[in-house]
A and B are shown apart, each in its own frame.
Chain A
Amino acid sequence: MSSSTATEVPQVHKDDVEVFSYDEQITRLFVLATVIWGVIGMLVGLLLALQLPFPEANLGEYLSFGRLRPLHTNAVIFAFAGNAIFAAVYYSTQRLCKTRMYSDWMSRFHFWGWQAIIVSAAITLPLGYTTSKEYAELEWPISIAIAVVWIVFAINFFATLKYRRVKHMYVALWFYIATIITVAVLHVGNNLAIPVGALESYPIYAGVQDAMVQWWYGHNAVAFFLTTPFLGLMYYFLPKAAERPVFSYRLSIVHFWSLIFIYIWAGPHHLIYTAVPEWAATLGMIFSVMLWMPSWGGMINGLFTLRGAWHKLRDSVVLKMFVVGITFYGMATFEGPALSVKSVNALTHYTDWTIGHVHSAALGWNGFMIFGMIYWLLPRLWRTPLWSDKLANAHFWVGTLGILIYVIAMYVSGVTQGLMWRAFDEAGRLMYPDFMETVVQVIPMYWARFIGGALYLAGTLMLVVNVIMTIRNAPATLPDAAQVSARKPVSLEASGDGAAVATAGGDGATPSPSVEEAKESSTTQDDGDDDDDDARPGTKRVQLPSPGDS
């Protein structure tokens, strides 16, 4: 940074304030990991999309469809979305709590441990070491490693909450809490197994029980890995980018509690008309339908946050990404309940519609929320303007087009399969008794899906270029900016009467005491943290003395 000389803090006695900083490097690491694994996960997905219409693309034992499919799902869920979640959590939690993460060491352990887990997945899955349980394919030693890393993450997170400087936890933190607790419970519950070799095991559950436990886990991996942390991300970054407070505080309470309570019940909708008891499948269906409302509570709270700010979409690729992401969230969470209704499920289950549904959520909701967040974070973390807004906009349009082509192709393919499988001729015999007829029929849709996926990946590569070029323009060193806080927690009552909190983002040598910094809005939820929203990349920052100095 331009100046790192110590400056005095006028009007505030140094004993009255604490000087601290946010760990920004950990967020940078997770952002970079997100981008790298995103490209790899999508490349594997594209290869799979090619293998279906063009089986010659099954490149031998280690790169055949069956072995690569779990690699694709694990890479995009746990590596791409996972690293993005951690980037969001580490960036926003520190600011929402006005404190550095409890332990830098734990943050690093989390980062490198998680990357090691991903690498071990990328090695073992093509070698055929898999439990076969969807999204829980990794064998027992890796499962244990996941649990250990997750627990370290949890300790680091909850200790940060404990030492926070802001009394009330903002809604994003509620969703992070639900994520961390539930993923731990699900992961341990579903992976209980007896090892029979270094990388082989049998689950302690069998048959119907195993199915129920697996989809209790599998569906809630969607809920608590791909939904709740992303809602937390939305609640933090969307108001930031829109510079508007969250639409409704009450709605955030109601939809948070109903969402986390109801989601858990929805698992058996993956098992409708199978050998699980009828009551379980019916419960799964009913709660899935109920889930529509809390899901849309989140969508409404997100979209309505933009009230009065819609014009900002024109110039902000971040907001465009967020709006499309949230819209796909709304569509996917309407589609999900619909697909879990028994009569609809009878048609769509086992077809490509499921794949379309998953990708409208994964590419639209998760992908675009991640991209929006990265485009917002890049200039802030690297303190350099984004290299190319045009390229970012091109990413947005190419990506959106890619999703639409992908999803529509899968809808057409899914309905075609469902109808052909059940069609009877006038004599009451199967119209298409040869399954192959139903396969050949949808191959053109597989090609369309390949094109949609390729477009989406092309958009992601544009992001990669923007990331690389932006970082190349960044300053050589990026020290964590100092933050200053009053030594005593600022209570609501005290706000407004000159709480002695100085901002580190001021220009020059006079950090001015800022009321806004200390105030916690009690009427609407504002964007939650106490960041200086006006601090833009390029603003000169002053390095304040660290607590040890002077």
Chain B
Amino acid sequence: MSRFIKKDGMHRSLEGWPLVFTVLTTVAILVGGLVQIVPLMLAGDAETRIDTVEPFTPLELAGRDLYIAEGCVGCHSQAVRPFRHELERYGEYQKAGETVYERPFLWGSKRTGPDLARVGGKYPHLWHVRHMEDPTSTSPGSIMPPYPWMLEKDANLDVLPRKLRALRSLGTPYTDDEVENAVQIAQQQAEEIAREIEQQGGPANLESKQIVALVAYLQRLGTDIDQAPETAEQEHDAGSAMEEPTAEARD
């Protein structure tokens, strides 16, 4: 070591060879990423796959892209951790298999507002409509920005076939029918949601609006595992999850 770093040592020579220096630097910065990421790529998602997890419907995908565009991820995480207090507050902790169709992932890094990984089905559609229009109307004291334009602007559904095709090329199992008829499928779901909103006492004729796509997406979040049959492996997972909070609670 001292031979290497002493004055006029080997490192001194290295400082005279920019090319060698650059190559060694490149090697040094590649190792960590290769060790951590390549095994994950090679393993794929076979081990973590959950049978009941389905790709997003076309309308949910449109809603998800609105969620991305509005930067919701800046304040809302989608990653319930395996702690007792998080299970109590949000529900079941998030599993790798639930996110296999998430491009990009939206786990977030900040909870200025609550985690949304299990928000699906927690509130009626109308609650979300009112909440997006004026957050304080449903949640007094809320500091969330209002999004009234989502009730006025039309969702852009025309790009859906292209989006589904791109996702399918990356491995999301959309059928030909879903890709070809993405717009109609989305409109059908939108009409259904808009009707329910109206039945709940909300505004009519929202079916073409952005808010319906967003509601479709939010109501889907975290619901896929509800249908999952309890397997031995999952019980094991849940068991290990309960150990963490115990340790944490002791702190």
Q: CB within 8 Å of B: which residues of A?
A: 51-53, 55, 58, 60-61, 64-70, 128-134, 158, 161-162, 167-170, 174, 177-178, 181-182, 185, 189, 194-197, 200, 202-214, 216, 224, 249-250, 253-254, 257, 260-268, 270-271, 273-277, 280, 283-284, 287, 343, 346, 349-351, 354-355, 417, 421-424, 429-430, 433, 435-436, 439-440, 443, 522-523
- Are B104 and A178 within 8 A (Cβ)? no
Instruction: Compute how far the CA of A58 lies from the CA of B142 in the bound complex, rounded to whole angstroms.
Output: 13
- Are B5 and A275 within 8 A (Cβ)? no
**A206-B171, A273-B83 given as contacts; is B65 within 8 A of A200 (CB)?**
yes
Can you name 11 extra interface pairs (CB under 8 A) apart from A212-B40, A439-B113? A202-B170, A209-B41, A210-B105, A214-B104, A216-B36, A260-B28, A354-B109, A424-B85, A424-B249, A429-B88, A443-B143
Instruction: Compute how far the CA of A52 lies from the CA of B35 in the bound complex, rounded to whole angstroms.
Output: 40
Q: Which residues of A are found within 8 Å of B112, using beta-carbon distances?
A: 52, 439
Q: In chain B, what residue has the closest Cβ to A273? A: B81
Q: List 20 A-B contacts (CB under 8 A).
A: A66-B72, A128-B69, A169-B16, A177-B21, A181-B22, A185-B30, A205-B104, A206-B100, A210-B104, A212-B36, A224-B29, A249-B7, A264-B33, A273-B81, A275-B107, A346-B81, A354-B110, A424-B84, A439-B112, A439-B142
Report the minimal beta-carbon distance from A132 to chain B, rounded to whole angstroms. 4
> Is B73 on the interface with A (CB-CB < 8 A)?
yes
Q: In chain A, what residue has the closest Cβ to B164? A: A196
Report the minimal beta-carbon distance from B238 to chain A, rounded to whole angstroms. 14
Q: Which residues of A are found within 8 Å of B170, using beta-carbon distances?
A: 194, 202, 204, 206
Binds A, one of B90-98, B178-186, B189-197, B221-229: B90-98
Q: Which residues of A are found within 8 Å of B41, using beta-carbon distances?
A: 209
Q: Is the interface of A mostly helix, strand, loop or mixed?
A: helix
- Are B70 and A206 within 8 A (Cβ)? no
- Are B143 and A55 within 8 A (Cβ)? yes
> Is B159 on the interface with A (CB-CB < 8 A)?
yes
Report the minimal beta-carbon distance from A339 to chain B, rounded to whole angstroms. 12
> Is B198 on the interface with A (CB-CB < 8 A)?
no
- Are A350 and B109 within 8 A (Cβ)? yes
Q: Which residues of A are found within 8 Å of B106, using beta-carbon distances?
A: 132
Instruction: Compute how far the CA of A391 lies from the CA of B101 in the bound complex, rounded to whole angstroms.
Output: 55
**Count, chain B residues at interface, CB 8 A:** 91
Instruction: Compute how far the CA of A167 lies from the CA of B69 in the bound complex, rounded to whole angstroms.
Output: 51
Q: CB within 8 Å of A: which of B1-48? A: 4-8, 11-12, 15-16, 18, 21-22, 25-26, 28-33, 35-37, 40-41, 45, 48
- Are A210 and B113 within 8 A (Cβ)? no
Report the minimal beta-carbon distance from B114 to chain A, rounded to whole angstroms. 4
Q: Which residues of A are found within 8 Å of B113, using beta-carbon distances?
A: 435, 439
6 closest Cβ contacts across the A-B interface? Answer: A66-B71, A264-B32, A207-B99, A128-B69, A265-B32, A58-B145
Q: CB within 8 Å of A: which of B56-97? A: 65, 68-75, 77, 79, 81-86, 88-89, 94-96
Q: CB within 8 Å of A: which of B129-146? A: 135, 139-146
> Is B166 on the interface with A (CB-CB < 8 A)?
yes
- Are A275 and B111 within 8 A (Cβ)? no
Report the minimal beta-carbon distance from B211 to chain A, rounded to whole angstroms. 13
- Are A197 and B159 within 8 A (Cβ)? yes
> Is B233 on the interface with A (CB-CB < 8 A)?
no
- Are B169 and A194 within 8 A (Cβ)? yes
Q: Which of A70, A210, A440 neighbours the largest number of chain B CB atoms within 10 Å of its CB?
A: A210
Q: Which residues of A are found within 8 Å of B89, using beta-carbon distances?
A: 421, 430, 433, 435
Q: CB within 8 Å of A: which residues of B?
A: 4-8, 11-12, 15-16, 18, 21-22, 25-26, 28-33, 35-37, 40-41, 45, 48, 65, 68-75, 77, 79, 81-86, 88-89, 94-96, 98-115, 135, 139-147, 149, 159, 162-163, 166-167, 169-172, 244, 248-249, 251
- Are A130 and B169 within 8 A (Cβ)? no
- Are B6 and A422 within 8 A (Cβ)? no
- Are B29 and A267 within 8 A (Cβ)? no
Q: In chain A, what residue has the closest Cβ to B81? A: A273
Q: Which residues of B are found within 8 Å of A436, using beta-carbon distances?
A: 139-142
- Are A351 and B73 within 8 A (Cβ)? no
Q: Which of B6, B82, B142, B166 neighbours the largest number of chain A CB atoms within 10 Å of its CB?
A: B166
- Are B22 and A177 within 8 A (Cβ)? yes
- Are A261 and B28 within 8 A (Cβ)? yes
Q: In chain B, what residue has the closest Cβ to A250? A: B5
- Are A169 and B104 within 8 A (Cβ)? no
- Are A131 and B104 within 8 A (Cβ)? yes
Instruction: Compute how far the CA of A36 lies from the CA of B99 in the bound complex, rounded to whole angstroms.
Output: 41
Instruction: Compute how far the CA of A436 lies from the CA of B143 in the bound complex, rounded to whole angstroms.
Output: 9
Q: In chain A, what residue has the closest Cβ to B74? A: A69
Instruction: Compute how far the CA of A466 lies from the CA of B84 in the bound complex, rounded to whole angstroms.
Output: 55
- Are A51 and B37 within 8 A (Cβ)? no
- Are B144 and A271 within 8 A (Cβ)? no
Report the minimal beta-carbon distance from A334 to chain B, rounded to whole angstroms. 21
